Amino acid sequence: MHLTKVDPRALKDNPDRTRQTKATSQADALLLATIKAVGIIQPPVIFPETGGGNGYIIDAGHRRVQQAIIAGIEEIEVLVAEPSNDNGVMRSLVDNIAREPLNAVDQWRGIERLVALGWTEEAIAVALALPVRQVRKLRLLANILPAMLDCIAKGNMPNEQQLRVIAAASLDEQSAIWKANKPKKGDPEVSWYRIANGLTKKRMYARDASFGDDLAQAYGIEWVEDLFAPADQDSRYTNNVEAFLGAQQEWMTLHLPRRGVIAETNSWGEATLPPKAERVHGKPGKTDRAAMYLDREGKVQTVHFRMPEPQKPSRKVDDAGEDDVVMARPRPDVTRRGIAMIGDFRTDALHDALERGTIEDDTLMALLVLALAGRNITVASGAGDDVYGFARMERHAVRLVADDGTLAQDMVTLRSAARAALIDALSARVNRSDSGIVARIAGVAIGADGFLPNMGTEDFLDCLSRAALERSCKETPVLPRARVRETRAALVEHFATERFVHPAALFAPDAAEIAKWLSSNTVAANDDEDVDAAAATVAEDPADQEPGEFLDAAE
């Protein structure tokens, strides 16, 4: 076997080569970039053509030859082997089977030599066809204990997170933890989890801090830079957990909203709200309250809640004076809390559509009629003491009245006031502000379904029964799991990048609901005629009417 130079275009492919599967376009592109950057490091192997031919056949290195031709190289170095009676099949097979890639430690040592020669991590990644992140991960081995490197060289490699934790510790700390956790003789497995866990120190990051430098200095917090963290984020941290949490608590105290509370957390890291408080999952209203708390990472979080009106408990008692026995009911598809969340989502979507959606003028007027027909709207006669409903609507009406008492003709002002009034009037929340079916009809008219949020969250999916969860899997690649929580977790992961709206949250009421509402609110034709006749009588000459005569006619 001898080394020579040939034109790569003159070489012929070996029809009996072992590796017949084509490489991916990405792999070919990386190989081409490598050849352009550093040339062909390992010369291809060729052998003379037999059977009367005078050319050369490629024995090993078909991709290298092909990419050299694409790169425009006119001459490459090759190794010329002696011809064989099997056309090089055995050599090709042995070469592909016996070839072993470099282990991680040898790769790291080679990378460090290239860095010492002035190569950048990006250039090394291109030349070796590796991701830049993999090059940076291998460079962490420079901070690893030599005894650990010996195990890594044998193929027992920790994952990236464990490697970062170990590399961040000092060699003395690594030596102590390695002495307690190194594998026994005959057991090649290393528990990198226990090693990394033993070296882990709780870190509180500056990017999670709500407080500023003044509180940091007051609590004696000194930030340390994480040299191995990505360059595009604030990687400063402190191990002084108590000082960090104390500064966060003081910041919450200083910035607590009016009527807000600082809440404790339960074992799941969720805020413990006051007794009987109802959490608001949509946009908070003016009367809703805020609760601030620290999550498991020490971040300041805020949730909103409302306090329900006290309700008197009622129990049915049978004739014998004993409580009725209530049979257990099967769990509904959506729990009461889920229904309340849907009400919040619907109301927020309805208000967003009213504020920002496209609404024609005739639709706007029809919506006002619907809004005034809502269950939550009260029209007072002036004799009562409840003027709260008037105050809400009057603040919108005054925008439409000029200084001389005439109605404004500006359509922009009219539309803005109408939208604001509708937002105050229409509601789908599960409380006394619910407008009923008219809010859902209005939502359909203005496309409020498009404003509903992504409901594929742990918080909402926890409100669904097993059957409802499994139905939610039908339009997704997620398959129902044996356990409900596993199905829910898979759906949450799937819907993290997609928007999911549960069918029960859509605004459109079914035909039965529409028919029932229409039938219960339809005025008989003869009632309309009686009212019209009574009104006409009054219109003829009100002075001739006796007191109470109009009321009799109307009745």
| pLDDT for residue 534 is more than 70 | no
Q: Highest mean pLDDT range out of 83-97, 319-333, 411-425, 495-509?
A: 495-509
Q: Which residue has the higher pLDDT, 432 or 470?
A: 470
What CA–CA distance (Å, rounded) separates 35 from 70? 10
Comparing 268-272, 383-387, 503-507, the range with the smallest average pLDDT is 383-387
Provide the pLDDT for residue 335.
86
- The pLDDT of 246-265, averaged and rounded, is 90
Q: Selecting from 3.40.50.1820, 3.90.1170.50, 3.90.1530.10, 1.10.10.10, what CATH number does the domain 2-98 have? A: 3.90.1530.10
What CA–CA distance (Å, rounded) separates 224 from 523? 75
Binned at pLDDT 50, 70 and 90, residue 542 comes out as very low
Provide the pLDDT for residue 210.
94
- The pLDDT of 216-241, averaged and rounded, is 85
| pLDDT for residue 320 is more than 60 | no
DSSP 23: P
Comparing 134-138, 242-246, 317-321, 489-493, the range with the smallest average pLDDT is 317-321
Report H helices in 146-278. 146-153, 160-168, 171-181, 192-199, 213-218, 241-254
DSSP 384: S
| pLDDT for residue 91 is more than 60 | no
| pLDDT for residue 248 is more than 90 | yes
Percent of the chain with pLDDT over 70: 78
| pLDDT for residue 94 is more than 70 | no
pLDDT in tens, 117-130: 888 888 888 877 78
Q: Which residue has the higher pLDDT, 494 or 182?
A: 494
pLDDT in tens, 351-370: 899 888 888 887 787 677 66
Provide the pLDDT for residue 450.
92
What CA–CA distance (Å, rounded) separates 270 from 263? 9
Provide the pLDDT for residue 310.
63
Comparing 226-235, 273-282, 484-493, the range with the smallest average pLDDT is 226-235
Q: Is 204 helix (H, G, I), strand (E, B) or coil?
A: strand
Binned at pLDDT 50, 70 and 90, residue 394 comes out as low
Residue ranges of the chain that CATH labels 3.90.1530.10: 2-98
Kindly report the average pLDDT of the chain as a whole number.
79
pTM over 0.85: no
What CA–CA distance (Å, rounded) separates 463 from 271? 18
Nearest partner of 244 among 280, 305, 294, judged by Cα = 294
Binned at pLDDT 50, 70 and 90, residue 294 comes out as very high
**Angle 198-293-286 from CA coordinates, rounded to 5°:** 160
- Cα 278 to Cα 114, 289, 464, 477, 504: the distances in Å are 62, 10, 18, 34, 21
pLDDT in tens, 437-467: 888 999 999 999 999 999 999 999 999 998 8
What's phi and psi for 48, nearest 5 deg? Answer: -65, 145
- The pLDDT of 414-432, averaged and rounded, is 82
- The pLDDT of 323-335, averaged and rounded, is 68
pLDDT in tens, 22-50: 777 877 888 888 888 888 878 888 888 77
| pLDDT for residue 221 is more than 50 | yes
Residues sharing a CB contact under 8 Å with residue 383, sequence separation 6 or more, in sequence order = none
| pLDDT for residue 491 is more than 60 | yes
